[in-house]
Amino acid sequence: MFDPTAFDNMKVVIEGALYDLDIIGEIIITDRNDLINIAKMSRSFDVSFQLPNHNISAKIEMKANLVNLAAELLPPLLLEQKAGCQLRLQFLSEPKVQEIDFQKIETILLGVWGSTRKITQTVQYQPLEIESRFNHQIKIEFDRLIREDQMDDLIEMTEFIMITLKKLSHEY
């Protein structure tokens, strides 16, 4: 048997927290991907979910590249600070109203996540379609590696995601 990597352990913690919420009906898991890129020797995992009866979804993405894995498995050869993974959150919606108060949404996000996170809002639509669907995407990025010793933070993060989903659902 092999020793699971930090990536594996963190993935299991996130999955467990989200599937617990799914089982009790607080969220609906809508998609899940667990990929290994053999050409680049990297891993990625993402899971998407939403509140029941709401049109906004959340997505948690984790990525670890070869340097992250090697730093963990071969600590004498590399700096251990590179052991871990990158984490990004996304919130996606297709609001019915094209008049969204983006500044108010930014204020909500900063209130939940703080100013140390990189928060980006993007809007996409088909300008030549009369009844164009309007897509609003929010990305929250952590400008550091997430390490295995921050496992409790991952569970706490799911609570912040739930708060964000509930607050954003009132804005659409």
pLDDT of residue 167: 94
**Structural domain count of the chain:** 1
Residues 43/63, Cβ–Cβ less than 8 Å: yes
Residue with the two structure tokens 């550091």: 144
Per-residue pLDDT tens over the stretch 97-119: 667 889 999 999 999 999 999 99
pLDDT of residue 170: 84
DSSP string of 70-94, one letter each residue: HHHH-TTTS-GGG-SBEEEEEEEE-
Q: What is the mean pLDDT of residues 117-143?
A: 87
Q: What is the mean pLDDT of residues 55-84?
A: 83
Number of continuous H segments (helices) and E segments (strands) in the chain: 4, 6
> Is 106 part of a structural domain of the chain?
yes
> Is 108 part of a structural domain of the chain?
yes
pLDDT of residue 1: 43
pLDDT of residue 78: 56
pLDDT of residue 162: 96
Query: With bands split at pLDDT 50, 70 and 90, how would you rate the model's confidence at 89?
Result: very high
Query: Which positions ≥6 away from 8 have C-beta within 8 Å?
Result: none
Percent of the chain residues topping a pLDDT of 90: 60
Domain that holds residue 153: 6-135+145-169
Strands 42-50 and 56-64: antiparallel
> Is 1 part of a structural domain of the chain?
no
Distances (CA, A) of 72 to 1, 83, 117: 18, 5, 25
> Is 43 part of a structural domain of the chain?
yes
Tell me which residue of 43, 29, 9, 158 sits closest to 89, measured CA to CA: 158
State the Cα torsion 132-97-32-162 to the nearest 10°: 170
